[in-house]
Amino acid sequence: LADLIEQGKVVALNFPTAMNPGLARALGTMLKQDFQRAVLGRIQTMTNQPSSPQRAVAFVCDEYQSFATTGENEPSGDEKFFSLARQARCIPIVATQSISSLRSALPGDESWRTLLQCFRTKIILATSDEFTARTAADLCG
């Protein structure tokens, strides 16, 4: 996967979740984590070869709540990746149905907050979810 990323290839997963939701989640999560590992590996290369230009990389994930993971005390959570993504020249773009759906998909009471704060720019469109609307209003002050 690291070679594909450096070649500028597009890697996509198209697996209809209606066919097998558990398998779709497992495959999507494994692909996401392998992508994150490959991107974070670029940091060492960039440090060792500062004069060599590195292409920007994008991580785009729709229905992100289905693939979100938090590490809390583990080193493999998405919050750790997103905190280092800029250093690896990676632009993450994720879309979720609502903050509530992200909240319900993650373990623990507060892990969703840790993950949400990693997203520097948040675009929240019209929603009928009261929790998402209240959280968005709080974020805006």
pLDDT of 17 reads 84
What Cα–Cα distance (Å) separates residue 116 from each residue in 26, 28, 56? 22, 20, 23
* Coil, strand or helix at 114: helix
pTM for this one? 0.87
The enclosing H or E element of 140 equals helix 130-140
Q: Has residue 73 got a pLDDT over 80?
A: no
The enclosing H or E element of 115 equals helix 111-118
For residue 10, give both structure tokens. 């597009």
* Average pLDDT, integer, range 89-97: 95
Q: Has residue 65 got a pLDDT over 90?
A: yes
What Cα–Cα distance (Å) separates residue 130 from each residue in 10, 87, 101? 36, 35, 12
